Amino acid sequence: MHKKILLFCSLPILSLLFTSCVKEVEAPAPYGALPSESQLAWQQMEYYMFIHFGPNTFTDVEWGDGKEDPKVFNPTQMDCRQWASIAKEAGMKAIIITAKHHDGFCLWPSQYSTHTVRESLWKDGKGDVLRELSDACKEYGLKFGVYLSPWDQNHPSYGTPEYNEVFANTLAEVLGSYGDVFEQWFDGANGDAHKGKRQEYDWDLFHKTVYSYHPQAVIFSDVGPGCRWMGNEKGIAGETNWSRLNIKGFEPGLGAPPSDTLTRGNINGEAWVPAETDVSIRPGWFYSPRTDNQVKNLNQLMDIYYTSIGRNSNLLLNVPPSREGRIHPNDSARLMEFRQAIDDSFARDLAQGASLHAINTRGGSAKYKAEHLLDEAYDSYWAADDDVLSTAIEITLQKPETFNRFLVQEYIPLGQRVAAFSLEIWDENTANWEMIADGTTIGYKRILRFHQVTTQKLRLNIKEALACPVLNKVEIYNAPEHFYTSSAEGADKADEIVALAEKWNIDSPAEKGNRDIIDGNMHTTRTFSNLEPIILNLGETLSLQGFSYTPADNMFASHITKYNLYVSEDGSEWKEIRKEAVFNNIKNNPIRQDVWFSDPVEARYVKLEALETTTNTTSYTIAEIKVMVE
């Protein structure tokens, strides 16, 4: 009797002793630089709208010079609620607006400038674009962000130590007046102004000002610290894209890391500075009526989606309002097509209901099992043991399926780890695994595209990781393919009035093949050396309204940045049309540059004299040159 009582009393004690001996499997230790809570929330937004709006909208230039009359800014039907409504319907999460571009014009009545909406005709100088847009964003549940260029070609103190205080006060004025700001966008542009003076920016002061008003704000620049420029304006993030970046010793603009570093990041970078891919839905950043029929087609936008969001980057898509102050119907219609195409592509996750088997699971614990890759909880994940840097996960679908997209995510709160991976499918005919896609980095999100395949079994191979891999999502889709070409209807104004080129000739340099730059084909180019001027002979005297130069669409090509332009009726006496003029932003956005004359000019010859190039060399490459006639 007493023995039985002793035995029964001992069972709870033994159970307690056994439980205390089973040690809970610890989570993986964080690896490398890590995202802040604000950066993680920012990354999860994925897709939002950029708005370029200001005097440039009305003067038809990409970069104003600060000398434009503020009265040119006069949108007749401006409707920020329309902008926000379209952004919301398009699936975007926020709007960032160019509150002040390089010309110094302020879209609010700033007390630190005399180049503002207050001096414009719009609403008799009583308007405030930032107020209207921030209110519209609140109404439609969108976050609000601001672009403020530190370069100011209008402010008289630019180029002096005093200007840094002026700009900090300007920042404070905006950041303290319009509610929450999720992202502060800093352009690194720092051009000469006011007799060639270049400003020494006080970035520490600027960052301190931002954080004093919005501690949670993500600051964008070439080197963050919140997020970084992707290194191009084409919508293409690096196939390898680390969210880490070495930032010590660098600063935005001229002191930034090389473009290829910004595109790829640094594998062992000291700071977490994820990439943001900015690109315009039109050729330029500001609205021009000449580009109404050059809105990117659906196929181009889908490519951008996969080369930005699908490559561990957020997508900031520029949609410039028209001179009326509304988003053009061509742009809004394309945005709705884009939203529908995204929805169609990711409508049904074929991985749901699949069984998963990982070769290695951390500590054999269900807490880190592969099935977490299919649930909706962001903070649940599969992880491997610390000493496992290469492994695999097999996915068996409920039945054979046809698909062409594979999505995978790392659990980035613990760092970015995967450096190489591949995807295989099981071929029943050969009884072998067949590789269908591979990649390097994964990061927050990676989407692989490939031709349709049909199988019931897949294998995700982690081929190389810097620390034990930690993944939290896998999805499989069969996305419809979209093949659209740009509409040829309504070619832009410049194309409509381009003089017929049958009589044209390149008189200098007199080399075979130089007609490639007047053949109407953007893919045929010529490279010129020693900054030799180009003389275009039109074959007859024409009344010229303007001139255009199209650089080669090649990231390694050298483009003309500064030039002189002359015209002549006889090829001997030349009239200067432009002196030391600049093709602004041509390095980052090498699109056709149109130069419109203030008055028509009678001429048979046009001479383009290159003075400086993007590569600081004496050679440059041209795709096309044209003239516009009455």
CATH, range 37-345: 3.20.20.80
Mapping DSSP onto H, E and C, the string for 444-495 reads: CCEEEEEEEEEEEEEEEEEEEECCCCEEEEEEEECCCCCCCCCCCCCCCHHH
150 touches 187 (CB < 8 A): yes
pLDDT for res 186:
97
At residue 32, φ and ψ (nearest 5 deg) are 65, -160
pLDDT for res 515:
87
Instruction: Describe the crossing of helices 329-345 and 80-89 by its angle, rounded to 10 degrees.
Output: 20
Residues 6+ apart with CB under 8 A from 20: none
∠ CA 87-318-83, nearest 5°, is 30
Average pLDDT value for the chain: 92
Global pTM value:
0.84
Strands (E), 109-154: 143-148
Does residue 412 register a pLDDT over 80? yes
Domain regions of the chain by residue span: 37-345, 355-477, 493-629
> Is it true that domain 355-477 has CATH number 2.60.120.260?
yes
Tokens linked to 177: 């007046």
* Separation of alpha carbons 143 and 73, rounded Å: 26
Question: 3-state SS of the chain: helix, strand, coil percent to 5?
Answer: 25, 30, 45
Mean pLDDT over 56-68 rounds to 94
Note the CATH architecture for domain 493-629: Sandwich (2.60)
Residues 6+ apart with CB under 8 A from 353: 397, 398
Mean pLDDT over 143-157 rounds to 97
User: Which residues does residue 629 pair with via DSSP β-bridges, in sequence order?
Assistant: 544
- By CB atoms closer than 10 A (0-12, 13-18, 19+), residue 573 is exposed
Tokens linked to 126: 């009583």
pLDDT for res 56:
97
Tell me the pLDDT tens digit for each residue of 254-311. 899 999 999 999 999 999 999 999 999 999 999 999 999 999 999 999 999 999 999 9
Tokens linked to 475: 């999805």
Judge whether 355-477 and 493-629 match in fold. yes
Distances, alpha carbon 292 to alpha carbons 289, 297, 584, in Å: 5, 12, 21
- For CA atoms 113, 119, 122, 125, the dihedral sign is positive
Residues 6+ apart with CB under 8 A from 507: 535, 536, 537, 571, 605
Tell me the pLDDT tens digit for each residue of 16-44. 444 444 469 999 999 999 999 999 999 99
User: Which residues does residue 432 pair with via DSSP β-bridges, in sequence order?
Assistant: 427
Strands (E), 296-390: 313-318, 355-358, 382-383
Does residue 245 register a pLDDT over 90? yes
pLDDT for res 497:
38
∠ CA 42-170-230, nearest 5°, is 35
384, HSE (Cβ side, Cα atoms, 13 Å): 24
